[in-house]
Amino acid sequence: MSELDKLMRPDLRGRTPYGAPQIDVAVRLNTNENPHPPSPGLVADLAARVAEAARGMNRYPDRDAVDLRAALASYLTGSTGVALGTDEVWAANGSNEVLQQLLQAFGGPGRTALAFTPTYSMHELIANGTGTAWLPVPRLPGFALEPEAAALVVTEHAPEVVFLCSPNNPTGTAVDLEVVEAVYEAARGVVVVDEAYAEFSTRPSAITLLGGRERLVVTRTMSKAFAFAAARLGYLAADPAVVQALQLVRLPYHLSVLSQAAALAALAHADELLATVAAVRDQRNRLLATIREMGLEAVDSDANFVLFGEFGDQRATWQALLDRGVLVRDVGLAGWLRVTAGTQDETTAFLDALRDGMATTGEATQ
Ligand SMILES: *Cc1c(COP(=O)(O)O)cnc(C)c1O
């Protein structure tokens, strides 16, 4: 053990960082980004707003990002039908920072976060980073969750935080609202529903359950459907008391004036940005159908990606795809790979590479 390893928190020694490979290949379908870049109109509006913000760059930004939170609240109200106020919405640098702030406030040493796995790898990494004990509970066959079974494990372990991810990354499966209700009733702690992919799903949001549930939190992001991953803007909807708790742990001025201006520009173009969702969904449905036609399994998906397999050795298929210029994600789930729905051309390139690659890896096709 090196000197520095001895100085590091024992619970962090030997851990590996988040590591989705950033490889420069033609077709990148590994991090669930929206493949459609912003329009010239949005780029121009964003540049104008950032220029305006730059004129006041000598001053700290609005610490509480009130204008942005009001715009996010209005977007959520419009898309879910649930009237939300600015005091019920919080924003940070990506929903990852929102999740970290949640665990800083409600998790931490001596406390436990429970999640149904496989699920989003960052939930575990953020638990590790905040010293929160991580309790993974395997999902049922087919990656499903049932209300009674889920409530039972939550009652048994009484964690301070429960993560539900819907649609779930990496499986794509949505969580029924009955599961959210049952888990909430069973939990004594905070229940976080990560809805990073909500816009790709046609199911009702857990935001419709917020009324009267002070311990329920729904997180969202502009990284996926909004096609705004590089801007780093995530947010949540919850009781005002949750927002107040996060204000105790956030760093002052955490959200730069540039991020706030850029996000306001994107929200002003929300209809245009979300118009890409239908095209992405079409490609997702095409992935599901075509992968199944090839004799492989593809898990039903409410998101913009598909988990497919089952391979004897998914790493061989991952490499065979990369050799053909297509990057997908090996999420560390034996037998499975995850592919993001791209543009029509990208999706075609993936399907061609898969067909061709399987011939060389010796994986069975029909
Ligand atoms: C991509 C993703 C996020 C997004 O994180 P950001 O920090 O907002 O980019 C959050 N949750 C899940 C489940 C995701 O897959």
Tens of pLDDT, residue by residue over 150-180, are 999 999 999 999 999 999 999 999 999 999 9
CA of 270 to the centre of ligand 1 (A): 19
Mean pLDDT of 52-72: 97
Confidence of residue 16 (pLDDT cuts 50, 70, 90): confident
Q: State the closest ligand 1 atom to the C-alpha of 32, by its place in the atom list counted from 1.
A: 1
Query: Does residue 100's CB lie within 6 angstroms of at least one atom of ligand 1?
Result: no
Mean pLDDT of 247-268: 97
pLDDT in tens, 66-110: 999 999 999 999 999 999 999 999 999 999 999 999 999 999 999
Mean pLDDT of 269-278: 94
Q: Give me the pLDDT at residue 359, please.
A: 83
Mean pLDDT of 125-132: 96
CATH of the structural domain 3-30+276-361, one choice from 3.90.1150.10, 3.40.50.1970, 3.40.50.720, 3.30.450.20: 3.90.1150.10
Q: Where in the chain is the domain with CATH 3.40.640.10?
A: 40-270
- Residue 245: helix, strand or coil by DSSP? helix
Q: Where in the chain is the domain with CATH 3.90.1150.10?
A: 3-30+276-361
Atom 10 in ligand 1: which residue has the minimum CA distance?
Answer: 196
Query: Does residue 196's CB lie within 6 angstroms of at least one atom of ligand 1?
Result: yes
Q: Give me the pLDDT at residue 255, please.
A: 98
Higher pLDDT, 144 or 349: 349
Query: Does residue 340's CB lie within 6 angstroms of at least one atom of ligand 1?
Result: no
Confidence of residue 364 (pLDDT cuts 50, 70, 90): low
Q: Tokens at residue 163, please?
A: 């993560």
Q: State the closest ligand 1 atom to the C-alpha of 222, by its place in the atom list counted from 1.
A: 8
Q: Mean pLDDT over all residues of the chain?
A: 96
Q: What count of other Cβ atoms lies within 10 Å of the Cβ of residue 10? A: 8
Confidence of residue 265 (pLDDT cuts 50, 70, 90): very high
Q: Give me the pLDDT at residue 366, please.
A: 42
CA of 22 to the centre of ligand 1 (A): 16
Asked if the model's pLDDT at residue 273 lies above 80, the reply is yes
Q: Tokens at residue 171, please?
A: 């499986």
pLDDT in tens, 333-355: 999 999 999 999 999 999 999 99
Task: Concatenate the DSSP letters of all residues of 118-150 into one string.
Answer: S--HHHHHHHHHTT-EEEEEEPPGGG---HHHH
CA of 331 to the centre of ligand 1 (A): 14
CA of 100 to the centre of ligand 1 (A): 12
The vertex-230 CA angle with 126 and 42, nearest 5°, equals: 145
pLDDT in tens, 194-224: 999 999 999 999 999 999 999 999 999 999 9
Mean pLDDT of 45-50: 97
Percent of the chain past pLDDT 90, that is, above it, reads 92
Query: Does residue 170's CB lie within 6 angstroms of at least one atom of ligand 1?
Result: no
Task: Concatenate the DSSP letters of all residues of 48-60 into one string.
Answer: HHHHHHHTTTTS-
CA of 221 to the centre of ligand 1 (A): 6
Mean pLDDT of 324-335: 96
Confidence of residue 282 (pLDDT cuts 50, 70, 90): very high
**Pick from 12-16, 230-234, 353-357: least confident:** 12-16
Q: State the closest ligand 1 atom to the C-alpha of 165, by its place in the atom list counted from 1.
A: 13
Query: Does residue 189's CB lie within 6 angstroms of at least one atom of ligand 1?
Result: no
Query: Does residue 120's CB lie within 6 angstroms of at least one atom of ligand 1?
Result: yes
Query: Does residue 260's CB lie within 6 angstroms of at least one atom of ligand 1?
Result: no
Q: Identify the CATH number of the domain defined by range 40-270.
A: 3.40.640.10
Write down the number of H helices and E strands in the chain. 13, 12
Choose among 134, 182, 180: nearest CA to 157: 134
Query: Does residue 167's CB lie within 6 angstroms of at least one atom of ligand 1?
Result: no
Atom 14 in ligand 1: which residue has the minimum CA distance?
Answer: 196
Q: State the closest ligand 1 atom to the C-alpha of 93, by its place in the atom list counted from 1.
A: 7
Query: Does residue 99's CB lie within 6 angstroms of at least one atom of ligand 1?
Result: no
Mean pLDDT of 15-26: 86
Query: Does residue 117's CB lie within 6 angstroms of at least one atom of ligand 1?
Result: no
- Residue 19: helix, strand or coil by DSSP? coil
Q: Tokens at residue 275, please?
A: 């118009």
Predicted TM-score (pTM) of this structure: 0.96
Ligand 1, residues 30, 122, 201: which to mutate, most atoms within 8 A of Cβ? Answer: 122
Atom 7 in ligand 1: which residue has the minimum CA distance?
Answer: 94
Largest CA distance in the chain: 64
Residue type, 304: N
The position carrying tokens 């004897």 is 312
**Rounded Cα–Cα distance for residues 205 and 26 (Å):** 35
Tell the burial category of 176 from Cβ atoms under 10 Å away from its Cβ (0-12, 13-18, 19+): middle
CA of 219 to the centre of ligand 1 (A): 9
